[in-house]
């Protein structure tokens, strides 16, 4: 059994300056103010759009992120229906070929009571053993998956526009409607930090909660 940490990968090159320029060009069509595009107008324009709630303009740029998380966290990700998804399928992926399953470590167990960690690990090993046994008995992967744990690693690609990414990160990193699941924040907070560095203005107003 492999035990790994959750993570993410941005799949598209993000040129923050060019992204903002595109948003400004699109937005100024609404006001026929293309002649007001100047050297320093872009950040002011995009900041104004966000402040006034005119976020429809942010829908004109999309990018993809691949998350490596457990199945439980993936169920939260796919609730964002204004996005597109591609997810590792337990129907078609036969982990018997690898001779093991891969699980995501609950990060809060690291450095904690060794018995808590061992209890979790033993539970994962029971699931792994039963899954592999069912495959050996001739069960199809889509049937044997019934005994796979919620901690099972899954890879899921989410593609969304900037407006939906803002909404996603408000809920899953910042927690504007209640405290997010800690394993969701494990990937959402570092993603937000990276986007704040790579795409100016668009994510600046999202405040990461203190630990």
> In this structure, what token pair is assigned to residue 166?
């803002």
Residue in the structure block whose two tokens are 């979790």: 120
Q: Please give the backbone phi and psi of residue 203, each rounded to the nearest 5 degrees, phi first.
A: -115, 5
Alpha carbons 149 and 129: distance in angstroms, whole number: 12
Q: Provide CB contacts within 8 A for 187, sequence distance 6+.
A: 6, 7, 8, 67, 69, 73
> In this structure, what token pair is assigned to residue 209?
């909660």
The verdict on whether 81 is a catalytic residue reads no
Instruction: Check 28, 91, 172, 193 and give the catalytic one.
Output: 172
Q: HEC string of 39-85?
A: CCHHHHHHHHHHHCCCHHHHHHCEEEEEEEEEHHHHHHHCCCCCCEE
Taking every pair of Cα atoms in the chain, the longest distance, rounded to a whole number of angstroms, is 71
Instruction: Give the Cα-Cα-Cα angle 179, 181, 184 (nearest 5 degrees).
Output: 120
Residues that are catalytic? 172
């Amino acid at each position: 059994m492999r035990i790994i940490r959750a993570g993410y990968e941005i799949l598209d090159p993000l040129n923050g300056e060019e992204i903002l320029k595109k948003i400004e060009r699109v937005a100024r069509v609404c006001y026929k103010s293309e002649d007001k595009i100047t050297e320093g107008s872009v950040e002011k324009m995009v900041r104004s759009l966000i402040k006034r709630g005119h976020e429809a303009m942010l829908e004109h740029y999309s990018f993809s992120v691949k998350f490596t998380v457990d199945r439980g966290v993936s169920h939260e990700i796919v609730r964002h229906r204004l996005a597109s998804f591609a997810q590792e399928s337990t129907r078609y992926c036969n982990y018997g070929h690898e001779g093991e399953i891969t699980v995501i470590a609950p990060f809060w167990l690291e450095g904690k009571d060794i018995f808590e960690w061992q209890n979790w690990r033993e539970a994962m090993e029971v699931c792994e053993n039963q899954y592999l046994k069912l495959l050996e008995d001739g069960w199809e992967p889509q049937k044997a998956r019934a005994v796979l744990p919620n901690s099972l690693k899954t890879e899921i690609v989410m593609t969304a526009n900037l407006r939906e990414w803002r909404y996603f990160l408000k809920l899953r990193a910042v927690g504007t409607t209640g405290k997010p699941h800690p394993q969701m924040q494990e990937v959402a907070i570092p993603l937000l930090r990276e986007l704040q560095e790579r795409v100016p203005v668009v994510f600046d107003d999202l405040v990461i909660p203190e630990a």
